[in-house]
C-alpha cells in the first residue's frame, strides 16, 4: 500500500525529503507556514560543504570522506557522534551528484575554502533561482521545486502552519494545523528549520544570542520560530547541541554584512588586538564573544575614510547573497554625525569616547604602524593589505556578534534521521532533518556549506527511513 508522508516545512530539508519520498513511492503532503517555499535555504549563498567530489577532482584536489570526518571531529573537539558525521560526509558527496542530475552545475574554479580546512570544500552552485531568492540557495530550492512539481505524488500547501503532532499509542500518525485541521500519515518528517526568529526559544536554548538585546536579529524567515522543535520535544524528543552561527555587526541598521574591509583593526576593551581581522566569519564572532564584555571596536583613521567608496559591498567568495555594506563612506559619515561611530582628534580621545583603555589603544596602534611599515603583522599574521592608522581624526565602531545566521541545537536524531527520545530510542513515526536537528555542529561553525549540505542529506535520509526503503 502506498505510504503517506507529511513533511513540515518546505526549505531545503523539506523539499529534499519530499522528492526522495516520492521517488521511493510514497504520497507526500508538504505543509509550509510561509507564503512561499524556500525558508532560510532560499536566502542562502547555497554553498555545500563536501569532500571527495568529482568537482574537487576536476581541480586536482585530493580529499576524502575520512579527512572530512576527521576535520569535523577536530573542529567540534570530538563532541559529535561519528555515525552522524559519517552520514553527513558520505551524504554530501552524494548530494553534489544528485543536485547535478536536477540541473545544478558546480564550477571547479569556484570551489573555495569555506572553513578552517586546507582543501577547498565549499561548492557554489550555478543554476536558475526562479526568483525565489538572491543566490545559490535559491538555485538549489528552485531545482528541488522543479523536480517536486513534476511528481504528482507531492502536494505542497503554503500558508499552512503546523501547530502540533497527532500521537496515538506512542506512534506519530499525523499533524494538526493552526486552524485545527488534522492530516494523517504513516510518518511525519519535521523539517521546519531553526529557531533564529523565536525569541523565547533563543532565551531557553541559546541565551548567548539574546545577550546583546535588540542588537540581535535573524537573517532567515520570520516563520522559523522553532515550532517543530517545540513539537518534537513535546513528543518526548531529546534536545542536543547548543549555540549557533553569529555575525559581528556595528548595528547601523538591519544590514546583512558578513565581510569587513581590510583597513580596520579590531581591539577589545583593553585596547588590544586579538585576532587577524580577515579571519573567516566561521570563527570571528566566536573570538569576539570571548573578549571582555563580548564586544570589540573596529578602529580606523581619516585617511582610510577618505578612500572608501560611497556604496558597494565586499563579497570575497562570490556568494551574491543580499549583502549591504555598513562600511560605505555615506553610511559611516552619517553614523559619525549621529555619534554612533566614536571620533577623536587623537587616539587617546577616541579611546575615551569609546570606553576603551587609552594606553592600550595607543600602544597597540604604535605597534601596528611599525608592523605596517615593515610589511608584516608580527602578532596575528594578518593576510593581505596592511593599512597604517596615523591620520586624525580617528574613529572607533563598536562591533558585537549579534546577527543570527543559524541555530545549532535541536532534536537529537540517529543516522536514519529518526528522532530519539530522552533514553535514546527512536520515537515511532517521527523523523527530522535540517536546522531543526542538533548534533551536527560543535560550538564553532565547521565551514560555510555544512548547514545546507546536512539539510539535504538528512532530508533524503528521513524520507528513505519514512518510506521504509533505506
Point out which residues bind ligand FAD (CB under 6 A).
Answer: 8-14, 31-34, 39-41, 43-47, 137, 161-162, 191-193, 219-221, 223-224, 227-228, 321, 405-406, 434-436, 448-453, 455
Contact indicator for 308, 327 with CB cutoff of 8 Å:
yes
List CB contacts of 318: < 8 A, sequence separation 6 or more. Answer: 110, 124
CB of 62 to ligand FAD, least distance (A): 23
Which backbone phi and psi does 211 adopt, to 5 degrees? -55, -35
Closest CB 467 distance from ligand FAD, rounded Å? 19
Question: Strands (DSSP E) along 258-338, which ranges?
Answer: 265-267, 296-301
3-state DSSP assignment of residue 117: coil
Nearer to ligand FAD, 10 or 68 (CB): 10
Burial class (CB within 10 angstroms; exposed 0-12, middle 13-18, buried 19+) of 131 = exposed
Q: Smaller CB distance to ligand FAD: residue 328 or 451?
A: 451
Cβ proximity to ligand FAD, 192 vs 328, nearer residue: 192
Report the residue number, 186 or 227, with the smaller CB distance to ligand FAD.
Answer: 227
d(CA 158, CA 9): 9
Residue nearest to ligand FAD (CB): 11
The CA distance from 95 to 80, in Å, is: 21
Nearer to ligand FAD, 94 or 371 (CB): 94
Which triple of cell numbers denotes residue 426?
527512536
> Which CB, 144 or 350, lies closer to ligand FAD?
144
Whose Cβ is closer to ligand FAD: residue 332's or residue 436's? 436
Rounded (10°) angle between helices 136-149 and 450-467: 20
Residue 438 and residue 413: Cα distance in Å, rounded? Answer: 8
Decide whether 159 or 376 has the Cβ nearer to ligand FAD. 159
User: In the bound complex, what is the minimum distance in angstroms from residue 163's beta carbon to ligand FAD?
Assistant: 7
Minimum distance, C-beta of residue 79 to ligand FAD, in the bound complex (Å) = 19
Q: How far is the CB of 319 from ligand FAD (least distance, A)?
A: 6
Least Å distance, CB 14 to ligand FAD, is 6
In angstroms, what is the minimal distance from the CB of 386 to ligand FAD? 29
Number of Cβ within a 10 Å radius of residue 51: 22
* Helix, strand, coil tally for the chain in percent (to 5): 35, 20, 45
Asked if 165 and 189 touch (Cβ cutoff 8 Å), the reply is no
CB of 401 to ligand FAD, least distance (A): 15
Amino acid at each position: 500500500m502506498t505510504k503517506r508522508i507529511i513533511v513540515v516545512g518546505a526549505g531545503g530539508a523539506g523539499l529534499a525529503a519530499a522528492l526522495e519520498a516520492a521517488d521511493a513511492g510514497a504520497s507526500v503532503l508538504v505543509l509550509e507556514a510561509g507564503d512561499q517555499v524556500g525558508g532560510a535555504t532560499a536566502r542562502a549563498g547555497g554553498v555545500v560543504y563536501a569532500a571527495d567530489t568529482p568537482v574537487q577532482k576536476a581541480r586536482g584536489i585530493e580529499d576524502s570522506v575520512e579527512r572530512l570526518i576527521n576535520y569535523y571531529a577536530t573542529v567540534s573537539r570530538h563532541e559529535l557522534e561519528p555515525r552522524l558525521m559519517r552520514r553527513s560526509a558520505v551524504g554530501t558527496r552524494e548530494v553534489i551528484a544528485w543536485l547535478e542530475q536536477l540541473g545544478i552545475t558546480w564550477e571547479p574554479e569556484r570551489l573555495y575554502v569555506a572553513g578552517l580546512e586546507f582543501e577547498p570544500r565549499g561548492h557554489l552552485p550555478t543554476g536558475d533561482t526562479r526568483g525565489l531568492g538572491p543566490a545559490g540557495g535559491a538555485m538549489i530550492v528552485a531545482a528541488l521545486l522543479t523536480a517536486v512539481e513534476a511528481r504528482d505524488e507531492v502536494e505542497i500547501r503554503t500558508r499552512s502552519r503546523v501547530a502540533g503532532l497527532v500521537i496515538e499509542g506512542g506512534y506519530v500518525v499525523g499533524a494538526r494545523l493552526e486552524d485545527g485541521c488534522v492530516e494523517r500519515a504513516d510518518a511525519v518528517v519535521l523539517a521546519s528549520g531553526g529557531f533564529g526568529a523565536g525569541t523565547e526559544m533563543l532565551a531557553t536554548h541559546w541565551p548567548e544570542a539574546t545577550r546583546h538585546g535588540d542588537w540581535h536579529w535573524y537573517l532567515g524567515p520570520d516563520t522559523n520560530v522553532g515550532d517543530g522543535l517545540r513539537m518534537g520535544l513535546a513528543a518526548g524528543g531529546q534536545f542536543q547541541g547548543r549555540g549557533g552561527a553569529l555575525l559581528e555587526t556595528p548595528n547601523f541598521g538591519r544590514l546583512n554584512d558578513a565581510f569587513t574591509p581590510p583597513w580596520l583593526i579590531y581591539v577589545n576593551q583593553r585596547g588590544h588586538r586579538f585576532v587577524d581581522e580577515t579571519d573567516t566569519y566561521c570563527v570571528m564572532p566566536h573570538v569576539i564573544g570571548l573578549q571582555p564584555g563580548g564586544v570589540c571596536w573596529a578602529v580606523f583613521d581619516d585617511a582610510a575614510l577618505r578612500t572608501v567608496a560611497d556604496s558597494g559591498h565586499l563579497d570575497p567568495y562570490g556568494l551574491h547573497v543580499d549583502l549591504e555594506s555598513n562600511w560605505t563612506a555615506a553610511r559611516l559619515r552619517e553614523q559619525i554625525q549621529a555619534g554612533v561611530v566614536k571620533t577623536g582628534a587623537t587616539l587617546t580621545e577616541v579611546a575615551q569616547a569609546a570606553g576603551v583603555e587609552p594606553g592600550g589603544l595607543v600602544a597597540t596602534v604604535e605597534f601596528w604602524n611599525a608592523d605596517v611599515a615593515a610589511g608584516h603583522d608580527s602578532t596575528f599574521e594578518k593576510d593581505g593589505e596592511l593599512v597604517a592608522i596615523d591620520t586624525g581624526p580617528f574613529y572607533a565602531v563598536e562591533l558585537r556578534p549579534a546577527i543570527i545566521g543559524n541555530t545549532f541545537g535541536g532534536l537529537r536524531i540517529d543516522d536514519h534521521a529518526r528522532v530519539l527520545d530522552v533514553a535514546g530510542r527512536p520515537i515511532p513515526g517521527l523523523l527530522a532533518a535540517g536546522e531543526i536537528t542538533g548534533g551536527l555542529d560543535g560550538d564553532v561553525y565547521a565551514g560555510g556549506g555544512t548547514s545546507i549540505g546536512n539539510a539535504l542529506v538528512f532530508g533524503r535520509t528521513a524520507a528513505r527511513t519514512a518510506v521504509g526503503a533505506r
